[in-house]
Structure 1
Amino acid sequence: MLPAEALPAWARKYPAAWQLPFAAWISSFTKWLMDSASFGLFTVRDLTRAISWLLDQPLSLARAVFATGFVRGQGSDAVTVFPAIPWFSMVIAATAAGYAVGGRRLALGMAAGLLYLAVFGQWTSAMVTLASVLVSSVLGSIGGLLIGLACVRWRWLERAAAPFLDIAQTMPVFAYLLPMLILFGFGPVSAMVATVIYALPPMVRVTILAIRAVPEEIEALGRMTGCTRRQITWKMLVPTALPALMVGVNQVIMLSLNVVIIASMIGAGGLGWDVLTALRSLNIGKGLEAGIAITVLAILLDRFAQALALRAGAVEAEDAARRRKAFVSSALAIAVAFWLLTALFPAIAPYPEAWKLSTAPYWGQFVSWINVTFFSTLEAIRTAVLLNILVPVKRFMLALPWPWVVFLVTAIGFRLGGWRLALTVGLMAAFPALVGLWPATMITVYLCGVAVVIAALIGVSIGIVAAGRPRLWRTVEIVIDTLQTLPTFVYLIPIVMLFRVGDFTALIAIVLYAVAPAIRYTAHGVSRIAPELIEAGVMTGCTRRQILTRIRLPLATPEILLGINQTILLALSMLVITALVGTRDLGQETYSALAKADVGRGVVAGIAVAFIGMIADRLVSAAAAGMKARRGPPQ
């Protein structure tokens, strides 16, 4: 590459005169939309506030049932008309529901998880979060199902919706919190809408795949029997695809829980607010307990949704179904009776303070002990990584001429997928320069790239080791499930206390959060190689290492690449969170825009982050598809 001095000034730094003021345009449009746009009898503001009021009804109902009770009046004049469901009634009802869909094991798990929330003083916040997640999940699932069915019916709609789904999945939630705030006002409704937008795309994609996977004979039978299109859809296709559709519902629930902390910034409250306040005060104990409570809630909802998916395609004996129904009905009747009892005797509703436990002080003391005892070692590690890896890579990325980067991305796209892919990724690569965000984009790419390389090295190695060892894999799976369900903000609290703010802290948090897909996809790819190929290698005298390097890994490379693709997307989503610990990348741009109420700046920075993820996704997917095509169908 030519030295920087030999390049023209416009190649070293994108000229300000060439920049397009997308941010100003978006901000101006938003201001016009809310202040002046109208539909004759009512304005856009009237419309969005009406939608906000409409969406607030199910959310307020859910909050009243689970957390606040039914209240008349406001402020000091508020009077509780009927209490929220007490903890013991909730435990009984959830245990019965768990038994109904998953048997004794799920019932015990539901009871243990909810009791944990009560014992550790997280009940009220957990119920606020549960109410928001349930309403968001229902809206996201129904909306995703309807959009997915429409895309199945009209192929042009699927092609038109694909870019919006990609952007919704890859754009940081910070970027569209502010537009939601302006459109729907400060409060839980705005947070819920942002959550639905973030969680809806997987349901759309799962619906498209599930409906198209239904055998054609079923639809043909419906036409032969005279069913209308609506009857075929709702009475034949959807019921047949229900087990697969429940996987999409599960994804909606998990993604909804994933943004509860971010949503708390605009009034969602609940456990997310507890974690956020703990991060701001560096209270590791409080933050960890609230974070674990979110994890427990996520595990309970995940297991329940999985059980529903399995039960959707199961057939149960009539006698067993009758006994199960009788047991569940009795348990629910008892739960309702206890709930009514708390209306007469409110003092019995709260979980007794004397029974509560807390590990918060011990976690804080433990981290403080590590900090004091191993300060020199930790500081040496931090300094070594900064000086030998992070700083050199950062300087290298910032020194790259923007035309060279755009050309390289375009050339790779052409090599992997032809002119269409080359044009797509080339335009997306040029976007940060066009809007004046090139330095922040290069910092994002540098930090995300280093984190992905480290996560891939760790994840692929662990996946290879665990693939052929079932006991080890069960342990690894528990660890990575916990890493994926633990709220992103929770990673930051102990790391900040140990290493202070900066790029190194962000790097550790990103690696921890993004390593799971690399492990999972590698283990899946390595373990699914046909036994006949392994036997052929053994018969030809290959050693264990040769079987791994010449048979397993080459054949598993497409799956490993897909895992790395998911690692990149998770790293980008976590990178935005790490803006809170001092990074100066696109994540900081979106967070600063939220703090300054600058809609255009936040949206443009979010689109730039989304384009980085989409470039990686397109290139890695094209590479994996090419490898699969060259490998041919499995024998």
Structure 2
Amino acid sequence: MAAPSRPRRRPGRPVLVAAVLLLWVAVWIPAHGVHTLGLSPADLTPLHRWLNDVNDTIGANRNSSPVFLYFFNEIRAAVDALVTFIQDLISQPSFGRPVPVLGWLGVVAVVAYVSWAVANAKVALLAAGGFVFFGLQGLWQESMDTLALTLAAVAISLLIGIPLGVWAGLSDRFHRLITPVLDFMQTMPTFVYLAPLTLLFLIGPASATIATLIYAVPPAIRLTAHGIRSVPRPAVEATESLGATGRQTLTKVLLPLSKRTIVLGVNQTIMAALSMVTIAALIDAPGLGKTVIKALQTLDVGTAFNAGLAIVVMAIVLDRVTTAASERARPSGPVPRFRRPLAGGLGVVTAVCCYLSYTYVWAAEFPDGPGLGGALSRGADSVTAWAQAELSTVTEGIKDLITYGLLNPFQALLVESPWWLVGAVALALAGVLGGVRAAVVTAVCVGLLIGTGLWQDSMTTLAMTIVATMLVMVLGVVVGVWMGRNRYADRIIRPVLDAGQTMPAFVYLVPFLALFSATRFTAIVAAVVFAAPVAIKIVADGVRGVSATTVEAATAAGSSTWQLITKVQLPMAGASLALAANQGLIYVLSMVVVGGLVGAGALGYDVVAGFSQGQLYGKGLAAGAAIVLLGIMLDRIARTSSPSKTTEGN
């Protein structure tokens, strides 16, 4: 009797991916340089010209069209009024600007008092010291302008986000409806928000504030909904059994018990707003971001470092205040007896400082200090000159290794391949990694990318994004496994990662501009450092989440440390690795685009050029759409490529 035939092993996804890539290279060798859809940088497609015409038409009818007169212009005027009101409260007096209600002394006193009231004395001292530092840097007015835009955007974001979050927390249907919208908003890189808003609201503080609140509102909605949904069901049922109405259940149980999560949402909203406000300087938003952009465009590392340091200090202060406030939101014991009298006394001192700052020039205008900002700028320039002279061998070696070993070959493979070959490879990889839905989304995105007329720039940006993501994942796995296996390493490294995630994207460009000058590699390194913290933390949490019983069983079976990591912990943390790759891709893409300011070129440069040159506005708008399409395509493939969906042979 014949032996039963053994079932055929189906090739796994790694094998299929490798086969697709090898076939790509094999076809590229004879076909490269053909059907590449290349355009001269000065060329405009019919789509770009049509978008320019739309921009011109809107500009000509802005003050006559009812849609603008009674809707967009009214929104712009209201937001402008809010920003101007806050600026008049706290900004330094200057030509055309009245004496502020709160001079520097009043602002520092109010910040310290509010920080003490919502957090503690240590945080209040940190906040007061941070704001005094702005003045010592010679950047008081720029810092207050940034703070005013941030506060205006956060106020509107919370006014919209918290009610929507409560609704999403109470309604399953609305939660399912709004989740993909929030996913889309958080997938889009920050640059993309700017161009369409200038079309509707012109450049200036209003457009910057609206772009910022759009970027900052998703965390408020998500965390508010999460807080409402995380309230223990027995507490809600007990309240309802006592005859409480829906309003009473919400105000007496759901909101109080989710207070800490909501305050955490406020923290995330503030950090997102501050990050976006600095980038919104590209559309003429006042503040520290404008100083950084001008310095980056002129390669003035010293000035960029001074202003970037102020942004970091503001981010740290706002983060620590709101984080401490979320910790205090936990249920605690009775309020100490001395706190209320102390609050009254400190309130009086704060009121006196506000009066002095309104009445006397010395308390309104920050006095000329010892020139700390100039010293910091000169010091940064000196360090830059030293680094470029003494470390050039090392930095050039690293840059050449990555550029010639990874970036140039991969960029040539993407840019010089026929468009139909890249499309076919993208569809095949999407089908292998993500299935039919991912393949359909990829097909649509590839078609629309061709329609933007920016295929080569899109492929250049994609090459930088993938190379940077590969480096991010190497860091994520190496450092994440170390943190996941060693709690002491976790305790040391995690605060550094937390601090890194508080810094806005612009700040990462400054030190690497000093080390590597203005090149594509500068944007890639900045993107790696920007995206690495989130990938490392996700991998570390995934490795730590592997069952201790499984680890002990593998160890008892004689597995070495290497075998334990590669055969047990990493495979079982596969979902975390996929999530780390997804988040790394999104963070990298947003930073690579920002890198257009320091020589990265491609889509990022197209967007920036669209803001500064009217005839390129349509091309910049199309570049923003191309960035969105790349983000959607990469996000969909990475999100659906969870190891749990792998079909392996036995």
Q: TM-score, normalised by structure 2?
A: 0.85
1:624 aligns with 2:642: yes
Alignment of 1:395-434 (within 5 A): 395-434=412-451
Indicate how the Cα distance of structure 1 residues 9 and 156 shifts in structure 2: closer, same or farther if over 3 A, else same: farther
Alignment of 1:220-619 (within 5 A): 220=237, 229-230=246-247, 232-318=249-335, 320=336, 322-357=337-372, 358-597=375-614, 598-619=616-637
- Structure with higher RCO (Cα < 8 A, 6+ apart): 2
One-letter code of the match for 1:59?
Answer: V
Q: Counterparts of 2:64 and 2:259 in 1: how far apart (Å)?
A: 40
Indicate how the Cα distance of structure 1 residues 284 and 182 shifts in structure 2: closer, same or farther if over 3 A, else same: same
Q: CA deviation at 1:133?
A: 0.9
Write out per-residue CA displacement over residues 173-192 of structure 1, whole angstroms, 9 at most, x where no aligned residue: 33332332232233211111
Unaligned runs of 5+ in 2: 1-22
Q: CA deviation at 1:525?
A: 1.7
Indicate how the Cα distance of structure 1 residues 108 and 370 shifts in structure 2: closer, same or farther if over 3 A, else same: same
Alignment of 1:147-226 (within 5 A): 147-151=164-168, 161-162=178-179, 164-217=181-234, 220=237
Alignment of 1:16-95 (within 5 A): 23=48, 35-36=60-61, 42-68=66-92, 75=96, 80=99, 83-95=100-112
Q: CA deviation at 1:85?
A: 2.4
1:138 aligns with 2:155: yes
One-letter code of the match for 2:112?
Answer: T
Name which of structure 1's ranges 442-451 and 170-179 shifts more when overlaid on structure 2. 170-179
One-letter code of the match for 1:619?
Answer: I
The answer on whether the counterparts of 1:97 and 1:328 sit within 8 Å (CA) in structure 2 is: no
Number of aligned residues: 618
1:98 aligns with 2:115: yes
Indicate how the Cα distance of structure 1 residues 149 and 606 shifts in structure 2: closer, same or farther if over 3 A, else same: farther
Q: CA deviation at 1:219?
A: 5.1
The answer on whether the counterparts of 1:65 and 1:85 sit within 8 Å (CA) in structure 2 is: yes
Alignment of 1:109-148 (within 5 A): 109-148=126-165
Write out per-residue CA displacement over residues 527-556 of structure 1, whole angstroms, 9 at most, x where no aligned residue: 233322222233223233332222222222
One-letter code of the match for 1:343?
Answer: Y
Q: CA deviation at 1:7?
A: 6.4
Indicate how the Cα distance of structure 1 residues 110 and 38 shifts in structure 2: closer, same or farther if over 3 A, else same: closer
The answer on whether the counterparts of 2:430 and 2:637 sit within 8 Å (CA) in structure 1 is: yes
Indicate how the Cα distance of structure 1 residues 270 and 169 shifts in structure 2: closer, same or farther if over 3 A, else same: same
Write out per-residue CA displacement over residues 431-453 of structure 1, whole angstroms, 9 at most, x where no aligned residue: 21233222111111111111111
Q: CA deviation at 1:35?
A: 4.8
Q: CA deviation at 1:264?
A: 1.8
CA RMSD in angstroms comes to 3.4
Q: CA deviation at 1:194?
A: 0.9
One-letter code of the match for 1:58?
Answer: L
Q: TM-score, normalised by structure 1?
A: 0.87
Name which of structure 1's ranges 262-271 and 361-370 shifts more when overlaid on structure 2. 262-271
Q: CA deviation at 1:20?
A: 9.8
State the SS of the aligned residue for 1:353.
Answer: coil
Q: Counterparts of 1:368 and 1:515 in 2: how far apart (Å)?
A: 27
Name which of structure 1's ranges 267-276 and 401-410 shifts more when overlaid on structure 2. 401-410
Identity of aligned residues (%): 28
Q: Counterparts of 1:149 and 1:599 in 2: how far apart (Å)?
A: 39
The answer on whether the counterparts of 1:452 and 1:511 sit within 8 Å (CA) in structure 2 is: yes
Name which of structure 1's ranges 447-456 and 461-470 shifts more when overlaid on structure 2. 461-470
Indicate how the Cα distance of structure 1 residues 258 and 535 shifts in structure 2: closer, same or farther if over 3 A, else same: same
Write out per-residue CA displacement over residues 315-336 of structure 1, whole angstroms, 9 at most, x where no aligned residue: 3314x1x532332232122111
Q: CA deviation at 1:569?
A: 0.8
One-letter code of the match for 1:329?
Answer: G
Indicate how the Cα distance of structure 1 residues 9 and 553 shifts in structure 2: closer, same or farther if over 3 A, else same: closer
Indicate how the Cα distance of structure 1 residues 378 and 223 shifts in structure 2: closer, same or farther if over 3 A, else same: closer
Unaligned runs of 5+ in 1: 631-635
Q: Counterparts of 1:344 and 1:12 in 2: how far apart (Å)?
A: 67
Q: Counterparts of 2:294 and 2:626 in 1: how far apart (Å)?
A: 29
Q: Counterparts of 2:572 and 2:326 in 1: how far apart (Å)?
A: 31
Name which of structure 1's ranges 606-615 and 343-352 shifts more when overlaid on structure 2. 343-352
Write out per-residue CA displacement over residues 569-599 of structure 1, whole angstroms, 9 at most, x where no aligned residue: 1111111111122333222222222223455
The answer on whether the counterparts of 2:104 and 2:357 sit within 8 Å (CA) in structure 1 is: no
Name which of structure 1's ranges 151-160 and 87-96 shifts more when overlaid on structure 2. 151-160
The answer on whether the counterparts of 2:105 and 2:357 sit within 8 Å (CA) in structure 1 is: no
Q: CA deviation at 1:507?
A: 1.8
Indicate how the Cα distance of structure 1 residues 409 and 237 shifts in structure 2: closer, same or farther if over 3 A, else same: farther
Q: Counterparts of 1:621 and 1:476 in 2: how far apart (Å)?
A: 27
Indicate how the Cα distance of structure 1 residues 23 and 156 shifts in structure 2: closer, same or farther if over 3 A, else same: farther
Q: Counterparts of 1:416 and 1:35 in 2: how far apart (Å)?
A: 48
Write out per-residue CA displacement over residues 72-111 of structure 1, whole angstroms, 9 at most, x where no aligned residue: xx83xx653xx34243443333333333333333233323
One-letter code of the match for 1:346?
Answer: V
Indicate how the Cα distance of structure 1 residues 308 and 79 shifts in structure 2: closer, same or farther if over 3 A, else same: closer
Write out per-residue CA displacement over residues 487-537 of structure 1, whole angstroms, 9 at most, x where no aligned residue: 333333343344332222222222222211122112222223332222223
Q: CA deviation at 1:600?
A: 4.2
The answer on whether the counterparts of 1:410 and 1:426 sit within 8 Å (CA) in structure 2 is: yes
Q: CA deviation at 1:248?
A: 2.2
Write out per-residue CA displacement over residues 152-185 of structure 1, whole angstroms, 9 at most, x where no aligned residue: 5666655655554344323333333233223223
The answer on whether the counterparts of 2:212 and 2:280 sit within 8 Å (CA) in structure 1 is: yes
Write out per-residue CA displacement over residues 293-341 of structure 1, whole angstroms, 9 at most, x where no aligned residue: 11111111112222222222323314x1x53233223212211112212
Name which of structure 1's ranges 573-582 and 421-430 shifts more when overlaid on structure 2. 421-430
The answer on whether the counterparts of 1:38 and 1:44 sit within 8 Å (CA) in structure 2 is: yes
Q: Counterparts of 2:451 and 2:30 in 1: how far apart (Å)?
A: 23
Q: Counterparts of 2:229 and 2:51 in 1: how far apart (Å)?
A: 38
The answer on whether the counterparts of 1:285 and 1:361 sit within 8 Å (CA) in structure 2 is: yes
One-letter code of the match for 1:606?
Answer: G
Q: Counterparts of 2:448 and 2:395 in 1: how far apart (Å)?
A: 39
Indicate how the Cα distance of structure 1 residues 590 and 155 shifts in structure 2: closer, same or farther if over 3 A, else same: farther
The answer on whether the counterparts of 1:34 and 1:44 sit within 8 Å (CA) in structure 2 is: no
